Structure 1
Amino acid sequence: MVESEADPLSLRRLGDAPHRLLFFVGATNVLLAMAWWTAWLISASSSTPWMPQPRVPAGWLHAFVMQYQMLPSFMFGFLLTVFPRWMSLPELSCRHYLPVGIGLFGGQIATLMGAMGVAPALYLGWALTAAGWIAGLTALAPHLWREQGITWHARSCFAALVVALLGLGMFGAYLAGASSWWLLASIKLGTFGLLLPVYLTVAHRMFPFFAGNVMAGYASWRPLWLLSAFWLVCIAHLALELVQAYGWLWMVDVPMSLLTMYLCWRWWPRAVERQTSPPLLTTLFIGLAWLPVTFALYSAQSVWYLVSGMYELGKAPAHALYIGFFGSVLIAMVTRVTQGHSGRPLFLPTIASFAFVAIQIVVITRIVAEVLPDRLLWYALAAGGWLLGLGPWILWLGKTYLAPRADGKPG
């Protein structure tokens, strides 16, 4: 049986596979998170702001939502799908991943309610997010001792999720009255203890694999020492940030910039035997190319701080990472997984191409905004670009997860 136009969309299909539910939650969370952030920035940049300053400063709350609720929705959807496959174990059932989806979706809804003035909802949002996170860890952990042998990529991702649980605890401590250092530490852990290690781990395992599947003669290169080097740099950068040793960050950021440049050169899918890289594959590596750009910006910032004591470039390096690397790879990976797991050919749909190009414009706008006058207005334009650029893609994703597979197979 193959999908027909008469097949109705159904919410029940979200329970058919982890990626359906968690990617649907993630897609919805993108729209809600960026709608609030865009509105808040427009309000803040106007002469008469109409939106309240949340109990948690809005910029930090935006970071928390993106790092611990929005992006992890997609991450858990991916990991709950691939852990059993990486380890040749039975697939997980709905009872394992439904609590994760409820926690991350309900947690973000409550957090955004808190951002709009319902202060007690912030505590509920934190509690639901933590509960969903623990449910995800509980579902994934048994695979680590049931597998035959050791899957280092799985252990790396799981370690990052455990580190992030510590970050969630720090955010909860701040809500309970601890100093602002706990909030700062939570955000830094989210970046360099969770998102960057997970993204780098998945890239290390999947990018050469994807390229090797479609490019004849492609030489896969993914030594385990590279994975260890990623973790070492992430931990070192995190430690220096936490003690505010900004002038010494160049000691880890410059090597990371050089390493990621070399990585892009080694991994890039060059034309072989008159083949050219398919667009869906190319988008992954364009996203990867934002990594050396990110760490070049971080390096320049820390070297300048060492020389002058001035902290220039603002959040430009962070947004090269968040939007350029995390955002671009998100679109490429989610599109690929969605196409493959919905029984469709592995090609880049026009609607995903539009989203990918839009996110490149958004990241450039957000980086340049740091040196422009009226920065809040440019921040708002960049945030609005997320909505305009990714909106159609997100609606396409939602419809796909509610529809049966195109090839009639289960899942």
Structure 2
Amino acid sequence: MSSAISRIFSEGFRIFFLSAGLYGVFAGVAWGIWLASLDGLLPYDEQSYGMPPVMWHAHEMIFGYATAALGGFFLTAVPNWTGTPEVRARFVTVVALIWMAGRLAVWLSGSLSPTTVAIIDLSFVPILVLKIASQLIRRPKPQNMVFLYLLSLVWVANLMVHLEWIGITTDTLNTGVRAGLLTLCSMIAILGGRITPAFTRNAMKRDGVPEALWPVSNAPLEKAVMALALVLPLLVLTLGSVSLAGICALLLGGAQLMRMARWRAGWALRQPILIALHLGLMMLALGLLLWGSAVIGYGNEIGALHILGIGCVGGMTLAVMSRAALGHSGRPLVAPSPMAVGYGLMAAAALVRWLGSGLAGGYMTAMLTADGLWIAAIGLYLFSMWPALTGPRAAKHG
């Protein structure tokens, strides 16, 4: 038992990807209980919390679940990018405990002072940034250094949420939540644009597909996506720039569709672990187009935000975490059947939640259904990846 715990805390991808899965299920169940209470299906005492449950839900999906996925990814990927040693188990343990303390503080916000909750919750990202900055500086490539900027924006967005909860501001919470989500989407646009065509290309090469049929990236288009992705969350953080941010989102969504047109998603359909990446980025493009349209007056903004939050962030985190867990634990890069089903359920959850936003009747049914699909998708991820995240590294495969 002790050796298993030591193993889990020994590498960033293990503890953080496991924590993301466990917390994703917990947060989904808690949200479902509250939704059921609105219909009188279950009792609920809102006085136990220091914030409205709707805001707890939004905050913890963005700054709880997603930041765990970020922690596992960057602590694992950055040493590979820079050729620096792997992060020591002691640091992994400390920073993981800080992330967990943040989740506990937010959950217990009804009995803690808002300032205490903010201090604990805001501690994780700066420590993560300092650590990866110390590694990136060894080989400071601009395409990697931009993630320090985006992680900093995640922290600023979270700060804006806490400032309103503390009572220092009166109008920064909604901005902070949207900025946090769109910053995650910007990271996915940049990182997904790097790994999705590359992984697809590698798989096609292994299968002997002629090079003329491999995914193609257009350099000017890639630069445009990078620029738009870096600007979008900053526009959202700048109060009063919502319409401009909407236009930026429309441009980024359109550019995302254009770049994906030549990434051979049709060929990737034969490999769930690949198509999951393409699907997550398709949700990114769709969500950006819907959100951009909504903020300039056409469509439902809440539905669009859930396409981004569930379909893009949820879908891409499952795709990247499962692939990284398999690869870094020495296992073949083949998604187990339950994991492949999980990819599909996550996309279905996003679509159900989006459709439910426009329903006059059946809204609560759609909400509960989407929540159930989210829980099932994350549950299948935990079931499929448990050996890779908690077990010994597998023997090298041929």
TM-score (norm 2): 0.88
Structure 1 window deviating more from structure 2 (122-131 vs 312-321): it is 122-131
Structure 1 window deviating more from structure 2 (251-260 vs 122-131): it is 122-131
Match of 1:348 in 2: 335
Alignment-mate amino acid for residue 11 of structure 1: I
Mapped contact 2:257–2:285 kept (Cα < 8 A): yes
Alignment-mate amino acid for residue 138 of structure 1: L
Distance 2:391 2:237 in 1: 45
Question: Which of the residues 15, 23, 28 maps onto 1:29?
Answer: 23
Mapped contact 1:27–1:398 kept (Cα < 8 A): no
Alignment-mate amino acid for residue 8 of structure 2: L
Match of 2:118 in 1: 126
Offset, 1:350: 0.8
Alignment-mate amino acid for residue 221 of structure 1: S
Offset, 1:65: 0.8
Alignment-mate amino acid for residue 160 of structure 1: L
Mapped contact 1:96–1:135 kept (Cα < 8 A): no
Alignment-mate amino acid for residue 369 of structure 1: G
Match of 1:168 in 2: 158
Distance 2:236 2:132 in 1: 31
Match of 1:243 in 2: 239
Distance 2:34 2:120 in 1: 24
Distance 1:172 1:267 in 2: 40
Alignment-mate amino acid for residue 261 of structure 1: L
Question: Which of the residues 251, 258, 266 maps onto 2:254?
Answer: 258
TM-score (norm 1): 0.85
Structure 1 segment 209-248 matched on structure 2, within 5 A? 209-216=198-205, 217=211, 218-221=214-217, 223=219, 226-227=222-223, 229-233=225-229, 235-236=231-232, 238-239=234-235, 242-244=238-240, 246-248=242-244
Offset, 1:58: 2.0
Alignment-mate amino acid for residue 176 of structure 1: I
Give the direction of change, closer, same or farther, for the CA distance of 1:91–1:40 in structure 2 (3 Å limit): same
Offset, 1:31: 1.5
Alignment-mate amino acid for residue 199 of structure 1: I
Query: Which deviations, in whole Å up to 9, do the C-alpha atoms of 1:268-327 show, x marking residues without a partner?
Result: 3454xxx9742211121122111221123124324545xxxxxx4141111111111111
Offset, 1:105: 1.7
Match of 2:352 in 1: 365
Question: Which of the residues 390, 394, 400 maps onto 2:388?
Answer: 400
Offset, 1:83: 0.7
Give the 3-state SS of the residue equivalent to 1:344 in structure 2: coil
Mapped contact 1:212–1:219 kept (Cα < 8 A): yes
Distance 2:314 2:232 in 1: 24
Distance 1:402 1:340 in 2: 14
Mapped contact 1:201–1:227 kept (Cα < 8 A): no
Match of 1:4 in 2: none
Mapped contact 2:199–2:274 kept (Cα < 8 A): yes
Question: Which of the residues 307, 314, 321 maps onto 2:308?
Answer: 321
Structure 1 segment 73-222 matched on structure 2, within 5 A? 73-114=68-109, 118-120=110-112, 123-147=115-139, 150-192=140-182, 194-216=183-205, 217=211, 218-221=214-217
Match of 2:208 in 1: none
Mapped contact 1:170–1:186 kept (Cα < 8 A): yes
Match of 1:309 in 2: none
Mapped contact 2:154–2:180 kept (Cα < 8 A): yes
Mapped contact 1:110–1:122 kept (Cα < 8 A): no
Structure 1 window deviating more from structure 2 (92-101 vs 77-86): it is 92-101
Alignment-mate amino acid for residue 145 of structure 1: I
Alignment-mate amino acid for residue 262 of structure 1: M
Q: Percent identity?
A: 20
Offset, 1:112: 2.0
Distance 1:362 1:345 in 2: 28
Distance 1:240 1:78 in 2: 25
Distance 1:112 1:67 in 2: 15
Give the 3-state SS of the residue equivalent to 1:406 in structure 2: coil
Query: Which deviations, in whole Å up to 9, do the C-alpha atoms of 1:235-259 show, x marking residues without a partner?
Result: 3465257534555555323322321
Distance 1:31 1:66 in 2: 11
Mapped contact 1:103–1:128 kept (Cα < 8 A): yes
Mapped contact 2:102–2:117 kept (Cα < 8 A): yes
The runs of 5 or more residues in structure 1 that have no matched partner are 1-6, 306-311
Question: Which of the residues 242, 264, 268 maps onto 1:268?
Answer: 264
Question: Which of the residues 356, 368, 378 maps onto 1:390?
Answer: 378
Distance 2:295 2:235 in 1: 14
More contact order relative to length (CA 8 Å, sep ≥ 6): 1
The runs of 5 or more residues in structure 2 that have no matched partner are 206-210
Structure 1 segment 13-92 matched on structure 2, within 5 A? 13-46=7-40, 50-52=44-46, 54-92=49-87
Offset, 1:367: 0.5
Give the 3-state SS of the residue equivalent to 1:186 in structure 2: helix
Distance 1:135 1:245 in 2: 30
Structure 1 window deviating more from structure 2 (89-98 vs 335-344): it is 89-98
Distance 1:171 1:322 in 2: 17
Distance 1:238 1:402 in 2: 38
CA RMSD, aligned part only? 2.7
Offset, 1:385: 2.0
Match of 1:375 in 2: 363
